[in-house]
Amino acid sequence: MRYDFGSDNTAGMAPAALEGVIAANAGFARAYGADDITARAADQIRARLDADAEVRFVFSGTAANAIALSMLAFPFEAVLAHHAAHVCTDETGAPGFFGQGLGLIGLPGLSGRIDETALLAALEEPEVGHRQPAAALSLTQSTEYGTVYSEEELRHLIEPVKARGYGVHLDGARLANAAAAGFDLTRIARLGVDVLVFGGAKAGANCAEAIVLFDKSLARRLDNRLKQAGQTASKARFLAAPFLGLLESGDWEGGAAHANLMALRLAEGIATRSPFVLAHPVEANAVFVRMPEAAHARLNALGWACYRFDDGSVRFVCSWATRGEAVDELLEAIAGLN
């Protein structure tokens, strides 16, 4: 493929993240997260969130999400989430695996945002002994469809959940893109989120994510849980180092801002120069286009990687590494389709 717009996972490590790893490779450091690099990276995350929280670095977002959800619901309970959320569609049952049977209840909502009325209806469902009752809510910011919840939208979803004593998880795989779009990270803890997955891989790190526990009572024996799940790195500094490089340099936000800008450039070009229409608002780094299968196949054949998403639209994702010239060449190719 000449340029890959299929995912922001296809880009390599951002220079600042790579420099962080190189710096961490010098000399010796204490193992299993007891090193200075891990401590500094955790402090950077706490500073971004303006919250005292437990922070652990793990190998994947799937494990981070699944372990987080297993902390919020018993095996005989379920987690409410948007039906297109990563935990529902792309994690091969990992929440149920780590949660020893924990269930998921998919909810509707336009462009990846959970519909408030649907959530309230689900919360009012009578509890019976024949199905898993809801015990937690999982949110995604930015969403799988590239939209960004406002603080008020999140509040309306979180408050009724917390009023019932349920837990709240936030999948922040693309949290950097939400922050670059104007979302205030310091509101996350204040809104009542119990567990956050602070994204690294899509922001330019390697395969590293951070579990952030605002509810410190959940941290009891956390390290034992992570060890059992195969998520404890002996050389933990190499998971934390890319975060440290990105956060200390400001490139965690800067790279996301660039990705968002490239997505907007692509969206504007599609809207004004092509025969196709946008399927969802473009608020972060993803662009969804209504495109016939034949046109999509032709675009792939020309060497442009993009794929059809759950709702039938074709998704294009920009990253910290997306070049403006690549966007312009893609627009030329799309404009030539019919």
pLDDT tens for residues 232-286?
999 999 999 999 999 999 999 999 999 999 999 999 999 999 999 999 999 999 9
pLDDT tens for residues 57-76?
999 999 999 999 999 999 99
pLDDT score of 3 = 77
Average pLDDT, the chain: 97
pLDDT score of 1 = 61
320, 258 in Cβ contact below 8 A?
Answer: yes
Report the pLDDT averaged over residues 9-30: 97
DSSP characters for 114-175? PPHHHHHHHHTSPP-TTSPPEEEEEEESS-TTS----HHHHHHHHHHHHHTT-EEEEEETTH
138, 79 in Cβ contact below 8 A?
Answer: yes
**Higher pLDDT residue, 1 or 89?**
89
How far is residue 216's CA from residue 261's CA, in Å, rounded to a whole number? 36
Report the pLDDT averaged over residues 163-188: 98
Rg over alpha carbons for the chain, rounded to the nearest Å, is 20
For 126, phi and psi rounded to 5 degrees? -65, 145
106, 83 in Cβ contact below 8 A?
Answer: yes
Q: Is 277 helix (H, G, I), strand (E, B) or coil?
A: strand
Report the pLDDT averaged over residues 111-122: 98
pLDDT tens for residues 283-326?
999 999 999 999 999 999 999 999 999 999 999 999 999 999 99
276, 334 in Cβ contact below 8 A?
Answer: yes
Report the pLDDT averaged over residues 195-218: 97
pLDDT tens for residues 87-115?
999 999 999 999 999 999 999 999 999 99
121: CB partners within 8 A, 6+ apart: none
Pairing relationship of beta strands 277-278 and 286-290 according to DSSP bridges: antiparallel
Pairing relationship of beta strands 286-290 and 314-317 according to DSSP bridges: antiparallel
How far is residue 237's CA from residue 32's CA, in Å, rounded to a whole number? 8
How far is residue 43's CA from residue 66's CA, in Å, rounded to a whole number? 24
Give, rounded to a whole angstrom, the gap between the first and last alpha carbons of the chain. 21
